[in-house]
Amino acid sequence: MRRERRSPGNPLRMPTLTERIAAGDRRALATLISRIEKHDPEAPAILGALHERTGRAMVVGITGAPGTGKSTLVAALAGAFRRGTAGHPPRTVGILAVDPTSPFSGGAILGDRIRMRDLAGDEGVFIRSMASRGRLGGLSHATDSAVRALDAAGFETILIETVGVGQDEVDIARQTPTVIVVESPGTGDDIQALKAGILEIADILVVNKADMPGADTTFESLCAMLGLGGGEGDGWKTPVMKTTAATGEGVDALAEAIHRHRAYLRESGEGRRRERERAEADLRERLRERLFERWRQSGRMDLAEMARKVAARECSPEEAVEELLK
Amino acid sequence: MTATMIRVLIAKPGLDGHDRGAKVVARALRDAGMEVIYTGLRQTPEMIADAALQEDVDVIGLSILSGAHGTLIPRVMRLLREKGLERVKVFVGGIIPDSDIPDLKASGVAGVYGPGTPTADVVKAIRDAQGTPQPG
C-alpha cells in the first residue's frame, strides 16, 4: 500500500485497499481478510486506517454443539435480516463461518456454505469461511480483525458462526455484544448444559430443530435452568426461543429478539461497558504478543534449550522463566 | 505455515447428484494441509465465481459427471475473468472424454483428472501450480 502514489490530485493513482474497502469493493474485502489470516505485515496499517469506520455493525455470535443446526440457522437468520422483519427494515449481512483446523495436517474442510446456498447471488451478503487454525474456544485468531473489516466495508449485521465446541465458548462472549447459544433436542442432558457454562454466556438461548421429538423437554429444562440462575436483577432476561431453521419457523422472532437485545445494550449502557471490556482484553492480548515478540527478538536466551532442561528435570519451569527474563 | 496456506474451493456445478469423488478429493486436500471450502451440489457458475471471490481462494476444483462440462466450465472461466480472478487455477475432475480436454484447457483450465487418478497426483498438481514445494 505504501508504495502506491498517494497524491489525491493524481487521477492515475490507484485507489488503496483501504479506499476500495470503504467504497464496498467485495474483492478488496476478501483480499484484506486473507492478508489478516496470513499475518501480512501491511494488514495492521490497513485495519488501523479503517478503524474509524467500524463500530456501526450489529455483531452477533452464534455458538453451540456440533450438529445443532448452527449453519442452517445462520443462513435463515441472514435471510430474515435481508428481507427485514416486522419492526425493522432490511439490512445487509456479513457472515464469518469458522470450522475446525485438523490438528494433524493443519488443513481444514470448511463446509458451512453448503447450508447457505439460498443466499447466493445477493450482493448484500458476504460469506467468508475461516479455519480455526489451532485456536481453541471456537474462533480463529483472525476473526476479530475480519469482523472489523466487514464492519468497515459497511455490512450492517455481522453473524459469526463458531466451531461447534460445546463446552468452552468463552471466546465468542468476549468478542461479540450479542451471543446466541443453539441447542437441539437430544444433545445431552441438562447437566451438560449446566456444566458447559453456556447459560452464563447466552444472551438468547435457542432450541433449534423444534419440530423434532424431545424439543419441548429441552425447551422446558432450559427454561427451568435459567430460572435457577436467579439474582440477575433488573438486567436482560435471557429468553429461550424455539426455531426450526430448515423451514424458517421462529426465525423472524429470533431476529426481532436480536434487535431487542441490541436496544437493551444501547439503553442500559451495558453495550458500552462490553465494548470497553472487549477493547481492554484485545489490548492485553496484543500487548502480550508484542512483548513476547520483543523478548524473542532480543535473542538473549534459547527457549528450546530451556524447555529441554525443564523436561530433563534439570530446572523447574519457575526457575526457567526467571532465568529467561534476566 | 499460515503464510503459504493454500485455499481451495470444491464445487459441483450442474445437476448431477453424486459427490463422492468431490468429497474424497476434499478430504485428501485437507490431509495435505490445505483449507478446503466445500460448497456442495448443484452450484451454478455464478455461485461458484462469487464464492471464489468472497473466499479469496487460490484454486477451484470442479467435479462434473453429467456431461455438461462443455457449457458449464467455459462459463465459470468467463465469470472468473470478469471478476478479475484470472490468477485462480481451475482443475476439473469427473467424467470428461479425452477428446474434450483440449477445449477445456484452451478455455483456461489448468488440469483435468478422470476417475482413478491418485489423490496424491491432484495434491502435487495444486502445489506445483502454487509454487509450493512438496514437504518431506
Domains and their CATH numbers in chain B: 2-130 (3.40.50.280)
**Closest Cα in chain A to B33:** A107
Pick B33's closest partner by Cβ from A33, A106, A114.
A106
Coil vs helix vs strand at B13: strand
- From CA A75, how far away is CA A117, in angstroms rounded? 8
Q: Check pLDDT > 70 for residue B136.
A: no
The stretch A94-112 carries a mean pLDDT of 90
Residue-wise pLDDT tens digits, B56-81: 999 999 999 888 888 999 999 999 99
- From CA B37, how far away is CA A131, in angstroms rounded? 10
B91, B111 Cβ separation under 8 angstroms: yes
Higher-pLDDT residue of B47 and A4 is B47
A253, A73 Cβ separation under 8 angstroms: no
Residue-wise pLDDT tens digits, A16-65: 899 999 998 999 999 999 999 888 889 989 999 999 999 999 999 998 88
Say if the Cβ atoms of B35 and A111 lie within 8 Å.
Answer: no
Say if the Cβ atoms of A127 and B83 lie within 8 Å.
Answer: no
Q: Check pLDDT > 70 for residue A102.
A: yes
Q: Check pLDDT > 60 for residue A4.
A: no
**Closest Cα in chain A to B38:** A111
Q: Check pLDDT > 60 for residue B2.
A: no
Q: Check pLDDT > 70 for residue B101.
A: yes
* Whole-number pLDDT of residue A142: 85
| A133 contact residues in B (CB cutoff 8 A) | 2
* Whole-number pLDDT of residue A326: 82
The stretch B98-118 carries a mean pLDDT of 92
Rounded to 10°, the helix A251-268/A70-83 angle is: 80
Pick B37's closest partner by Cβ from A39, A121, A129.
A129
Query: Of 3.40.50.300, 3.90.1570.10, 3.40.50.920, 3.40.50.2300, which CATH number belongs to A54-268?
Result: 3.40.50.300
Contacts with A90 (C-beta within 8 Å, 6 or more apart), sequence order: A81, A82, A83, A84, A124
Q: How confident is the model at residue B14 (pLDDT cuts 50, 70, 90)?
A: confident
* Whole-number pLDDT of residue A11: 59
Task: For residue B7, give how far its alpha carbon lies from the nearest alpha carbon of chain A (Å).
Answer: 9
CA distances from A211 to A74, A202, A207, B23, B64 (A): 18, 22, 10, 30, 36
- From CA B104, how far away is CA B71, in angstroms rounded? 10
Task: For residue B110, give how far its alpha carbon lies from the nearest alpha carbon of chain A (Å).
Answer: 22
* Whole-number pLDDT of residue A106: 87
Q: Which of A109, A116, A125, A133 is most worth mutating to test chain B (most B CB atoms within 10 A of its CB)?
A: A109
| A127 contact residues in B (CB cutoff 8 A) | 51, 54
Say if the Cβ atoms of B55 and A129 lie within 8 Å.
Answer: yes
Pick A30's closest partner by Cβ from B5, B30, B53.
B53
Within 13 Å, how many C-alpha atoms sit on residue A256's CB side? 10
Residue-wise pLDDT tens digits, A178-236: 999 898 887 655 556 555 566 778 899 999 999 999 899 888 888 888 776 554 556 88
Q: Check pLDDT > 70 for residue A148.
A: yes
**Closest Cα in chain B to A118:** B47
**Closest Cα in chain B to A35:** B3
Say if the Cβ atoms of A109 and B26 lie within 8 Å.
Answer: yes
Task: For residue A110, give how far its alpha carbon lies from the nearest alpha carbon of chain B (Å).
Answer: 5
- From CA A46, how far away is CA A33, in angstroms rounded? 11
The DSSP bridge partners found for residue A242 are A207
A21, A153 Cβ separation under 8 angstroms: yes
Q: A48-57, A123-132, A296-305 — which is least confidently predicted?
A: A296-305
* Whole-number pLDDT of residue A2: 44
* Whole-number pLDDT of residue A78: 97
* Whole-number pLDDT of residue A135: 58
- From CA B5, how far away is CA B1, in angstroms rounded? 6
- Domain regions of chain A by residue span: 1-53, 54-268, 278-324
Q: Check pLDDT > 60 for residue A6.
A: no
